[in-house]
Amino acid sequence: MPTTKKRFAVITVIGRDKTGVVARITSFLFQQRANIEALEEQVTRGQFSMTVQTSWKDSQLQRTEVEAGLRQLASDLEMEITVRFTEPRRRQRMAILVTRETHCFETLLQSTLKQAEPALVISNRRELEPLARQHKLPFVHIPWEDRPTAERAALAELAKHEIDFVVLARFMKILSPNFVWRYKHKIINIHPSLLPSFPGPQAYRQAYEQGVKIIGVSAHFVTMNLDEGPIIAQDCFHVRPNMTLKEIVAAGQRLEARTLLKAVKLYLSKRLDVYWGIVKAV
């Protein structure tokens, strides 16, 4: 028997919390003969966010009507509603956000990811532009002095390039909830400590000053809380006697690159689920 081709989309709804939003969206999708495969919604400090994964039989999808109807709902509800149509069998399009450190960026570019392709590089500095151009990748420089303006520009670039997920390869800026909500459990970061210990940008120095004997790194999904997202992968190394801070940083950076790559591969394997803030293999 031939299989029926399906079409998929991810719908994101963001705005001030109000009653009836979930019912309005799901009722509309039902009218459009969509199958709701997953739905997540939350309210934080009065801000509502919802992600809906939907599918249609190919013959039943009226894409123009779906897009127009969601635009009308966004206007009626005074909320932001975006829809991203996806093809589950195509390679995932990955955006890499960087600042000026090369170790994680180079490892991602040099690795063969069968299920993903680097499609965009965004940076708040220009130092890594030659490296991106060398790999024939679009490079977008966005100054980050004003975060709301910078994030709007970054989100526009992600939409323009049809990005599926984001990797922070030592991107040294904090993303706001406004940004993170749009890519829930689709932003992967690497942090230079065994979280939850030593959050923030000076983790190696803190570990060195505290005299810890084992130092590690953590790859995690980004959430609204700094360096507290669900952990995907971790690794560590022993601190040798008389090891200098410079040597610790060098060893940590090598480990960061390997662990971030491991986390990306785990994410692409589609064997991860986040349940009550904990990443589980499925």
**Catalytic residue numbers?**
227
Please state at what angle helix 245-268 crosses helix 103-110, rounded to 10 degrees: 40
Q: How far apart are CA 46 and CA 15, in angstroms?
A: 9
Q: Print the SS3 string covering the chain.
A: CCCCCEEEEEEEEEEECCCCHHHHHHHHHHHCCCEEEEEEEEEECCEEEEEEEEEEEHHHCCHHHHHHHHHHHHHHHCCEEEEEEECCCCCEEEEEEECCCCHHHHHHHHCCCCCEEEEEEEECCCCCHHHHHHCCCCEEECCCCCHHHHHHHHHHHHHHCCCCEEEECCCCCCCCHHHHHHHCCCEEEEECCCCCCCCCCCHHHHHHHHCCCEEEEEEEECCCCCCCCCEEEEEEEECCCCCCHHHHHHHHHHHHHHHHHHHHHHHHCCCEEEECCEEEEC
The residue whose two tokens read 């590089």 is: 121
* Beta pairing, strands 6-16 & 272-275: unpaired
Q: How far apart are CA 81 and CA 74, in angstroms?
A: 6
